[in-house]
């Protein structure tokens, strides 16, 4: 099929919103890191981010021009490939800040758990789409959860609690799009709630610690950040000060005191939203949220117009992955969610995260193109027979 035909059916509103987020994020990362004396260049982090964005854009194009329906035939290959990459981390991975999550590739450190988020959407969508929509038995739900649980547990013990949470959220989302019974969700909720109570309260009292002490502190610090202002509560307090001081229009790029004086930790990764709030204020935040709303809207639209259950589930999974990360990241910076280390999509610094998110956008574009092409064929047939 002609190249121009494919291009005609791209969702350019989605691409424009994503490009805006990448550009916005690069600007904020530069503002947050350009004066760091430990860097070899003021553009150090921005260059890496833009290289990752360029690589991700190439992969986006490849995926968009590929018929996504063919991925269903490679469900098992993708699944075992994900497990192999995650397991490889435990063998040759490099450690940073207490976590072993990255595979060194020389010029680039690959974080397999980021790629796993997108891969598992495809795997679970392929599995569920192979079953009739009326097949809402408990064993289908259990098998889906079981498949997702294996990589989630492996990621959790790296430890990477945030990505494990994203995998759990994606699993619930694809089950919802598939049409899983509400009773199943009620049981899942009860099991998850009971498990959290056991992990956080019951097991530690008898000497069994599933979560490391620092993980538990980060999870619960948002409830009482003032209890340890120079320790576990420091990140959250500095984040709230930064965002609150931005007021309506912010202090201006390169003018945020919490950011530029390095009071705000992790200001180019986990707390990049705090930098934006301090330097660009409510107006800057509103622009960011508007771009995210556009991405989510176009993703939901693609899920609705998809001509196949497989495509609808993939689109629903991608939207839920992005929405969950946005909600949790922003929530943790303003103190309404636990601090889990989940990045802000397309904005937080991180090469693997950028590539994975752009791959996900490529899937959305592939679904959109095929849906439009099928719609065109039906229209031409209708015109011919009329």
- The per-residue pLDDT for range 123-156, each reduced to its tens digit, is 999 999 987 665 568 888 899 999 999 999 999 8
Rounded to 10°, the helix 351-385/112-129 angle is 30
- The per-residue pLDDT for range 38-58, each reduced to its tens digit, is 888 889 999 999 999 999 999
Residue among 129, 72, 139, 53 nearest 303 (CA) = 129
- The per-residue pLDDT for range 187-239, each reduced to its tens digit, is 888 887 877 777 666 666 766 666 666 666 666 666 666 655 555 678 888 88
Alpha-carbon distance of 22 to 55, in angstroms, equals: 13
Alpha-carbon distance of 248 to 277, in angstroms, equals: 9
Which residues, 6+ apart, have CB-to-CB distance to 241 below 8 Å?
258, 263
- The per-residue pLDDT for range 336-364, each reduced to its tens digit, is 888 888 899 999 998 899 999 999 999 99
Q: CB atoms < 10 A from the CB of 46, how many?
A: 21
Alpha-carbon distance of 246 to 280, in angstroms, equals: 7
Contact 64, 369 (CB under 8 A): yes
Alpha-carbon distance of 95 to 111, in angstroms, equals: 11
Alpha-carbon distance of 142 to 145, in angstroms, equals: 5
Q: What's the whole-model pTM score?
A: 0.90
Structure-token pair, residue 213:
């002490």
Label residue 184 by pLDDT band (50, 70, 90): confident
Query: What's the chain's Rg over C-alpha atoms?
Result: 22
Instruction: Give the side-chain half-sphere CA count within 13 A for 206.
Output: 4
Alpha-carbon distance of 243 to 250, in angstroms, equals: 9
Torsion of CA 14, 368, 323, 360, to 10 degrees: -90
Contact 322, 341 (CB under 8 A): no
Contact 222, 337 (CB under 8 A): yes
Domain ranges of the chain: 3-385
């Amino acid at each position: 099929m002609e190249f121009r035909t494919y291009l005609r059916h791209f969702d350019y509103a989605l691409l424009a919103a994503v490009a805006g987020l990448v550009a916005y994020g690069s600007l904020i990362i530069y503002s947050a890191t350009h004066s760091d004396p430990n860097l070899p260049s003021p553009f150090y982090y921005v260059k890496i981010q833009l290289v990752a964005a360029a690589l991700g854009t190439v992969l986006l194009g490849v995926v968009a021009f590929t018929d996504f329906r063919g991925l269903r035939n490679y469900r098992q290959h993708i699944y075992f490939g994900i497990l192999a990459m995650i397991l490889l981390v435990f063998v040759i991975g490099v450690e940073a800040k207490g976590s072993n999550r990255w595979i060194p590739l020389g010029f680039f450190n690959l974080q397999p758990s980021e790629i796993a988020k997108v891969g598992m959407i495809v795997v679970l969508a392929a599995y569920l789409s192979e079953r009739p929509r009326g097949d809402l038995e408990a064993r289908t739900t259990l098998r889906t959860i079981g498949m997702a649980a294996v990589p989630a547990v492996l990621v959790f013990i790296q430890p990477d609690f945030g990505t494990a949470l994203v995998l759990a959220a994606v699993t619930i989302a694809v089950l919802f799009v598939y049409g899983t019974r509400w009773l199943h969700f009620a049981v899942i909720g009860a099991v998850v709630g009971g498990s959290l109570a056991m992990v956080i309260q019951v097991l530690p009292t008898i000497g069994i610690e599933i979560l490391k002490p620092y993980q538990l502190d980060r999870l619960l610090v948002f409830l009482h950040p003032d209890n340890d202002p120079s320790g576990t509560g420091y990140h959250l307090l500095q984040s709230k000060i930064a965002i609150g001081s931005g007021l309506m229009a912010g202090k201006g790029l390169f003018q945020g005191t919490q950011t530029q004086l390095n009071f705000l930790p992790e200001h180019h990764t986990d707390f990049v939203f705090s930098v934006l709030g301090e330097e660009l204020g409510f107006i800057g935040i509103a622009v960011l949220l508007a771009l995210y709303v556009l991405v989510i809207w176009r993703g939901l639209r693609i899920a609705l117009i998809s001509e196949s259950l497989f495509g609808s589930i993939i689109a629903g999974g991608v939207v839920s992955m992005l929405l969950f990360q946005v909600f949790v990241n922003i929530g943790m910076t303003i103190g309404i969610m636990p601090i889990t280390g989940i990045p802000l999509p397309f904005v937080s610094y991180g090469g693997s995260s950028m590539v994975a998110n752009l791959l996900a956008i490529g899937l959305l574009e592939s679904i959109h193109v095929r849906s439009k092409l099928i719609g065109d064929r039906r229209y031409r047939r209708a015109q011919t027979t009329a």
